[in-house]
Structure 1
Amino acid sequence: MRKKDRELTAPADLLAIMQAADRAVLAFNGDPAPYLLPVNPGVEWTGDRFILYLHGATEGTKYRYLVDGAPVSFEMDAHHALVADRDRGYCTMYYASVIGQGIAYELLDAEAKARALQVIIDSYHIDEGFAYNPAALPRTRVFKIEVRAITGKAKGPKV
């Protein structure tokens, strides 16, 4: 990373960015070009690794790339603010972001799928106690991405 003063390494800092982001963009090796997939993930820190959870309908183009054991890259960002100094003719953007790589695994067990969906719901701070309709489980595919590498970066106001 070129600007080491912007690098974030503490899991708590990385998790805070991931929780503040309302989407992630996944990237897969595609043909004829990389395939990008915006998703609304749930995220958790297990004590030694980050896990992203995502869900979707049972069919779609994404499943050509999102298969069990697929390598995936991802990006998440939050806290955007444009800063403009008209007198100096200067502008910049404040932000916080993470970029990572991991391996995708499909969750087939109903209990694992249900838990992952609850993590996703909790990630979006829906009213406590919100219960999704379990009838959705058979018509929903759920994946977890075990994060293998992650970097974080932020630029913001000096404290």
Structure 2
Amino acid sequence: MRRADRKVRGEEDIVKVLDSCKVCRLGMMDEGKIYIVPMNYGYVYEAGELVLYFHGAKEGKKLGLLKKNPTVGIELDKAYGLATGKTACQYSYYYASIIGNGSARLVTEPKEKSKALSVIMKQQTGKEFGELEDNPKLGQAVGIIRVDVEEFTCKRHCKENSVD
């Protein structure tokens, strides 16, 4: 990372960035080209290990690509606003982001699918939906992708004395 002064290191601060983002861009290989899909997500982050969950159709281009090559790239970001300056070169942007890569697989086990739906809903709404974990049938209609993030960096540029 070129700007080491912007690197976010602490797990608590990384969780703040994960919590503040709502969309993850999932990058896959498609016959030598990159195919990127923006998706809502949920996550589990424990002891430095990050797992992302996505839901969608049970078939389609995304799943076909992942079956051919499960290696993926991820990108999440949150924009805070324009950082102004006196000259054009002094302008910047306040943001937080996570960029990394990992391995994707389709989740088929009902309990894990239910857990994944719960963490996705918590991420997107801020609410706990315990009935998702208690009712595996709710996950039958959707496909769930799990990405085990193998490496990632978290970066932030914010105003001085900002909590974010």
> Shorter-chain TM-score category?
0.7 to 0.9
User: What is the identity, as a one-letter code, of the residue corresponding to 2:61?
Assistant: T
Alignment of 1:16-55 (within 5 A): 16-55=16-55
TM-score (ref. length: structure 1):
0.87
Q: Structure 2: how far apart are the matches of 1:116 and 1:127?
A: 14
Runs of 4+ in 1 over 3 A off after TM superposition: 87-90, 126-136
SS of aligned partner of 2:33: coil
Assess, with a 3 A threshold, how the Cα gap between structure 1 residues 23 and 84 changes in structure 2: closer, same or farther.
Answer: same
Contact 1:68 1:105 in 2 (8 A): no
Q: Report the Cα offset of residue 152 of structure 1.
A: 1.0
Larger helix proportion of the pair: 2
Contact 1:6 1:155 in 2 (8 A): yes
- Residues 140-149 or 29-38, more deviating: 29-38
Q: Say yes or no: does 1:156 pair with 2:158.
A: yes
Deviation string, structure 1 residues 78-119 (Cα, Å, up to 9, x no partner): 14211234x545422100101011111211111110111001
Q: Say yes or no: does 1:92 pair with 2:72.
A: no
**Paired positions, count:** 158
Structure 2: any 5+ residue segments left out of the alignment? none
Q: Say yes or no: does 1:146 pair with 2:161.
A: no
Contact 2:21 2:78 in 1 (8 A): yes
| Percent identical residues | 27
- Cα RMSD of the aligned pairs, angstroms, is 2.2
Assess, with a 3 A threshold, how the Cα gap between structure 1 residues 108 and 68 changes in structure 2: closer, same or farther.
Answer: farther
Deviation string, structure 1 residues 99-141 (Cα, Å, up to 9, x no partner): 0111112111111101110010011235444746865422211
Structure 1: any 5+ residue segments left out of the alignment? none
- Residues 66-75 or 137-146, more deviating: 66-75
